A = this chain, B = another copy of it.
Amino acid sequence: MSKYSINMNQDCRLCPFVSTAIEKLSDCQMQQLTDNHIVVSFKKGDPIIKQGTYSTNVIFLRSGLVKVHITGPYSEQIVKISKAPQYLGLPTTFGDAVNQYSITALDNCELCFIDNTTFRQLLKESEHFSYQIIQSLCRYEIESFRRCANRTQKLTRGNLADVLLDFANNIFQSDVFTIPISQVEIGNLIDTSRESVSRMLSEFEKDGIIRMTGKQMEIINKKSLELISQNG
């Protein structure tokens, strides 16, 4: 249902979203990147990477918000919410010919699709670039261990507090924001049912910790949320 607007051959040197990993590339390498990518706009709900399909391009998220999700044995699990600027799905692009997880736009996104061969050429030619990529892959994995430990050990209350704190502190950098996902999705993010999410949000509101008007969220008592995050 979506029409993707496509811009060919934007100059990466002028791109305000350009990844830090790219900064050290030579002019010639930069030109190669510029010549071998296209910029595409996606709308809320559009699939960017789809689990089970062949992975074809390296994707860089210039702007917007996405969810990384995987089909588990019984239900969909949202692994994480990621915001621009960053590469998307490097592990699934280089780790397997077939995508092992999905990425979906949560709002309007601008993405660069970079030719796989070009990207590999850059890795080959720039030691700095490939080391940056290695480092970011390493950090992703550490993060993912940490997330998994939290998710499985904390009670639902604590996990929900973490989601709200993550939105406020990392994603939106404001205590007032519009929740970009449904309560079903929050459930998928913290491995609980949507009913429990609903009940607990009501509870937070009753306790004066948050104020909600539809999707509009205001964190009133962040200290309480942090305590709940720590002590379940």
Q: Could you tell me the distance between the alpha carbons of A90 and B142 in the complex, rounded to whole angstroms?
A: 10
Whether the Cβ atoms of B191 and A142 lie closer than 8 Å is no
Residues of chain A in range 54-94 having any CB-CB distance to chain B below 8 Å: 70-75, 77, 79, 90-94
Whether the Cβ atoms of B140 and A73 lie closer than 8 Å is no
Interface presence of A123 (CB below 8 A):
yes
Chain-B contact segment, one of A17-25, A95-103, A105-113, A204-212: A95-103
> A138's closest neighbor in chain B, by CB?
B95
Interface presence of A176 (CB below 8 A):
no
A25 to chain B, nearest CB (A): 15
Q: Could you tell me the distance between the alpha carbons of A60 and B16 in the complex, rounded to whole angstroms?
A: 40
Known contacts A130-B123, A138-B137; is-contact A73 B149 (Cβ 8 Å): yes
Whether the Cβ atoms of A91 and B153 lie closer than 8 Å is no
If A73-B150, A134-B137 are given as contacts, then 17 extra A-B residue pairs at C-beta distance below 8 Å, sorted by A number, are A70-B145, A72-B149, A72-B150, A72-B152, A72-B153, A77-B152, A90-B138, A91-B138, A92-B142, A95-B141, A96-B139, A123-B130, A124-B127, A140-B141, A144-B148, A147-B148, A153-B191
Interface of A toward B, CB cutoff 8 Å: 70-75, 77, 79, 90-96, 100-101, 120, 123-124, 127, 130-131, 133-135, 137-142, 144-154, 158, 191, 230
In the assembled complex, 27 residue pairs joining A and B whose CB atoms fall closer than 8 Å, in A order, are A71-B149, A72-B153, A73-B149, A73-B158, A75-B153, A77-B148, A77-B149, A77-B152, A77-B153, A79-B148, A90-B138, A91-B138, A91-B139, A93-B138, A94-B135, A96-B139, A101-B142, A123-B127, A123-B134, A124-B127, A130-B130, A134-B137, A137-B138, A148-B152, A151-B152, A152-B152, A153-B191
